Structure 1
Amino acid sequence: MQKLLFILFENQTEKLERKDENISSNDLHAIQNTNWN
């Protein structure tokens, strides 16, 4: 699960660096919360 979370986090970081606003920070938190459970 930690690997999956890291991959998702890395992917979101790349999107933020590209200023891709298709996903909001709330969506990112929801993804993280789902993976921690």
Structure 2
Amino acid sequence: MAKLQITLTRSVIGRPETQRKTVEALGLKKNKLFSSC
């Protein structure tokens, strides 16, 4: 199975609520952190 790495590069401030919930569900909290799925 392939691994996927997601990095948060821009802040979620000012983004729609659905995008903020998606970022939170992926386990991303700060910029430049990544989540391995």
| TM-score interval (norm. to shorter) | 0.3 to 0.5
Greater RCO, 1 or 2 (C-alpha within 8 Å, sep 6+): 1
TM-score (norm 2): 0.34
TM-score (norm 1): 0.34
Larger strand fraction of residues? 2
The higher radius of gyration belongs to 2
Larger helix fraction of residues? 1
